[in-house]
Amino acid sequence: MSNMEDTSTLTNRTIRNGREFTTRYLCVAAEHQAPGEPKNWSLFSHALPTRSPTNSAPGQVWQVTGDAELMHHDHAAGVDQLSAPDFAWHRVLRADLGEDEYARVDEVARAESPPRAANRAAVREHCQGGS
């Protein structure tokens, strides 16, 4: 879990880089890819500043990328997924994600094997196949 954000927790709020954050979200986010390609989706967790003018802030992204036959983990910290140029949509899965829950999501996302299509013929059948 060394890629997790550097945070300190005090009761129900988080202090990071001198700013107060009170709510940690777990979201699924989708990004547009090339025309005709299915959207790439990822899990994204971020803590919003107490007086945030937007619903976006840097956080942790858990995702797999690559060709459908050779997918690999591409997790990253400090990414503002909701402000990415190819951002399509997001859905909040959990608001007020606790520190233990965050650690569990991180553990499971890193342990889960990336999906792989057995061959090119199986790509559309098993790897989204639509947008």
**pLDDT band for position 128 (50/70/90)?**
low
In a domain, residue 96? The reply is yes
Task: Identify the domain containing residue 28 by its residue range.
Answer: 8-126
Residue 36: per-residue pLDDT: 83
Quick check: 9 pLDDT over 50? no
Instruction: Give backbone dihedrals phi and psi of 102, rounded to 5 degrees, phi first.
Output: -60, -45
In a domain, residue 54? The reply is yes
Instruction: Give backbone dihedrals phi and psi of 82, rounded to 5 degrees, phi first.
Output: -80, -10
pTM of the model: 0.71
Q: For residue 44, give both structure tokens.
A: 């994204």
In a domain, residue 3? The reply is no
Backbone region of residue 66 per phi and psi (left: phi > 0; alpha: psi in -120 to 50; beta: other values): left
CA distance 47 to 40: 22
| pLDDT digits 0-9 by tens, 34-66 | 888 888 889 999 987 655 666 678 899 999 888
